[in-house]
Chains A and B, each alone.
Chain A
């Protein structure tokens, strides 16, 4: 079952069982955005506090499969305390990680030129691309975060 081990790595199961930054923040002042996956009914709510160009706090609630829940937990850990520019870079890199490369579906080759090692724990989600129907599970939190960033007052 090596296939399944690619998907359900220990880091993913750990974040699923013990999600980080779980909870709510008072809104306002926090920005609150909901995300839905209409196909499977997964829901997520992202709360953000931004101060002086830095994402000082993030909390998440919602429910969904291990992939969507661990992805949101891993995301919160990766972006909390970072500058908004760093947050946007992380989103861009994650989206690249989730992009299906035909060659990578055929072999185990890593899509270039993304430096997966630099992504830390997020790299654990790399195996999701081999299960194309699950990509939308992994990207739900990230799309919701992107939407929340757009709501930051200029």
Chain B
């Protein structure tokens, strides 16, 4: 059973009671980082207050509890994304960026050679671009891009030609700039038909859309805990058990070994092979709480709620600003998430954000770590407003009020 009432979610989220510049905070930057509910914060406090100990080592009671909590988070994530092989397929990293570095350096380093192609898209975050350029410098792979059309969606007309010689298709499930939701199930089917594996940057969708890696039939999944109401400092890398078993270790150190001697080492098997050193244990407890919280809300409900907010905001932006504000992204809510990149004509995104701050409105100005996409649309920066399960129509009211002021100030 799920129950969803955005007002209750808001009441559950302490940060959203803050007052900024004499106005209640209007938080519209969930695409950068979502705001954790009390349940997540308390789960981490409880960990430190009641059972903190290092994991996988001690035999005393709190150490056992700590290990159980950490491994419990792994199982919760496996359940949340419907990993076919369960918790053994979940690797904890530092963030989605580190997950991509693990993918490129470990899997890519072992499986890609000079001339092999990695196919990305023009709407990727730098986290899913730079690690591939680094691998290209090392091994001479080719990096190719699926273009983005004028409708702000992937231009898939030449997808068969683009997939020629491709060993890995690595694309985002939802653009952090455009809000576009990509058809990953269809893309995976097409890519597999060409013999390529499929990696997904799920950082933007994980806290906003239902996830099912079994149904979409993808091969790798990367995301961050802090974009799904969880804490910072913790990311997730998922791949099928048989692929994970063949991946060489990434970072070396304690915890990732089966044996070490003065002549060498044998890496551990399973996810811990990729988790060198003491992991973020309290953060994993927080993530477990975030998963339970989102499961309680129901991801279909979250998606539907944010879709309603997006619909309302798109309509009012068009009605109230008479073309003065351009939305850089699809103008309908079909396959579109609650990320609104705004181009206020004649006003730079930084100035927009500065004026909005006076109203307690938190948005994100800049290139959003997607410079190839910005270049594609001849932009240097946009002012991005993004929603979460705790967002309400009243947030859009304040956003529009503040935008009106910004437009007036800069004439």
Q: Which residues of A contact B (CB under 8 A)?
A: 1, 3-4, 7-8, 13, 16-17, 39-43, 63-67, 69, 131, 134, 137
Q: Is the CB of B348 within 8 A of A4?
A: no
Report A-chain residues with C-beta under 8 Å of the C-beta of B366.
39-41
Supplied contacts A8-B409, A41-B367, 6 more A-B pairs, CB within 8 Å = A40-B367, A40-B380, A42-B380, A65-B348, A67-B350, A134-B350
For A134, list chain B residues within 8 Å (CB): 350, 354
Please give me the residue from chain B that is nearest to A4 by CB atom.
Answer: B358
Q: Which residues of A contact B354 (CB under 8 A)?
A: 4, 7, 131, 134
Take A40-B350, A131-B354 as given contacts and tell me if A64 and B411 are in contact as well, using a CB distance cutoff of 8 Å: no
B99 to chain A, nearest CB (A): 23
Cβ–Cβ contact A3 & B358, under 8 A: yes
Within 8 Å CB of B355, what residues of A? Answer: 4
Which of B21, B348, B367, B371 is the most central at the interface, judged by chain A CB atoms within 10 Å of its CB?
B348
* Binary contact track B352-378/A, C-beta < 8 Å → 1, others 0: 001100100000011100010010000
CA distance A17 to B367 in the complex (A): 23
Contacts of B351 in A (CB 8 A): 8, 65-67
**Which residue of B380, B409, B410 contacts A41 across the interface (Cβ within 8 Å)?**
B380
Q: Cα distance A66–B355 when bound, in Å?
A: 12
**Chain B residues near A17 (CB-CB < 8 A):** 411
Given known A17-B411, A41-B380, A41-B381, contact A66–B358 (CB-CB < 8 A): no
A41 contacts B374, C-beta separation under 8 Å: yes
A67: B residues at CB distance < 8 A: 350-351
Question: Is the C-beta of B35 less than 8 angstroms from some C-beta in chain A?
Answer: no
In Å, the complex CA distance between A88 and B355 comes to 33
Q: How many residues of B contact A (CB 8 A)?
A: 19
B349 within 8 A of A: yes
Contact status A1-B358, CB under 8 Å? yes
A65 touches B349 (CB 8 A): yes
Hey, which chain A residues are within 8 Å of B350, CB to CB? 40, 64-65, 67, 134, 137
Name the A residues within 8 Å of B371 (CB-CB).
41
Please report which residues of chain B, range 385-411, place their CB below 8 angstroms from some CB of chain A when the two chains form the complex: 409-411
29 contacts between A and B (CB under 8 A): A1-B358, A3-B21, A4-B354, A4-B358, A8-B351, A8-B409, A13-B411, A16-B410, A40-B349, A40-B350, A40-B366, A40-B367, A40-B380, A40-B381, A41-B366, A41-B374, A42-B380, A43-B380, A64-B348, A64-B350, A65-B348, A65-B349, A65-B350, A65-B351, A67-B350, A67-B351, A69-B348, A131-B354, A134-B350
Q: Scan B333-361; emit 1 where CB is below 8 A from any A CB, else 0.
A: 00000000000000111110011001000
Kindly list the 8 A-B residue pairs having the minimum CB-CB distance in the complex, ordered from nearest.
A65-B348, A65-B350, A41-B380, A41-B367, A66-B351, A65-B351, A40-B366, A4-B358
Closest to A1 in B: B358
Q: Is the CB of A40 within 8 A of B365?
A: yes
Residues of B with C-beta under 8 A to A13: 409-411
* Closest Cβ neighbor of A39 among chain B residues: B366
Q: How far is the CB of A103 from chain B (nearest CB, A)?
A: 22
A62: nearest chain-B partner, CB-CB: B380
Q: Which residues of B contact A16 (CB under 8 A)?
A: 410
Complex Cα distance, B103 from A108, in Å, reads 52
List residues of chain B with CB within 8 A of the CB of A42.
380
Among residues of A, the one whose C-beta sits closest to the C-beta of B381 is: A41
Q: In the bound complex, what is the Cα–Cα distance between A18 and B371 (angstroms)?
A: 28
Contact of B348 with A66 in the complex, beta carbons under 8 Å: yes
Q: Which B residues are in CB contact (< 8 Å) with A8?
A: 351, 409
Residue of A nearest to B355 (CB): A4
Q: How far is the CB of A99 from chain B (nearest CB, A)?
A: 21
Q: Could you say which residues of chain B place their CB within 8 Å of the CB of A3?
A: 21, 358
Residues of chain A within 8 A (CB-CB) of B365 are: 40
Q: Is the CB of A66 within 8 A of B410?
A: yes
Q: Which of B21, B350, B366, B410 has the most chain A CB within a 10 Å cutoff?
A: B350
Please tell me if the beta carbons of A63 and B380 are within 8 angstroms of each other in the complex: yes
- Contact present for B410 and A64 (CB under 8 Å): no
A7 to B381, CA, bound (A): 20
The CB with the most chain A CB atoms within 10 A, among B351, B365, B411, is that of B351
Nearest chain A residue, comparing its CB with the CB of B368 = A41
Q: How far is the CA of A8 from the CA of B350 in the complex (A)?
A: 12
How far in angstroms is the closest Cβ of chain B from A122? 20
Please report the C-alpha to C-alpha distance between residue A40 and residue B411 in the assembled complex, in whole angstroms.
23
* Min C-beta distance of B411 to chain A, whole Å: 7
C-alpha gap A21/B347 in the complex (Å): 21
Chain B nearest CB from A29 CB (Å) reads 30
Provide the bound-state CA to CA distance between A101 and B409, in Å: 28
> Please, which residue of chain A has its CB at the minimum distance from the CB of B366?
A40
Q: A8 to B411: give the CA distance in the assembly, Å.
A: 12
In Å, the complex CA distance between A78 and B161 comes to 56
Residue of A nearest to B375 (CB): A41
Q: A134–B351 Cα gap in the complex (Å)? A: 10
Find out whether the CB atom of B380 lies under 8 angstroms from the CB atom of A64: yes
Q: Which residues does chain B contribute within 8 Å of A64, judged by CB atoms?
A: 348, 350, 380
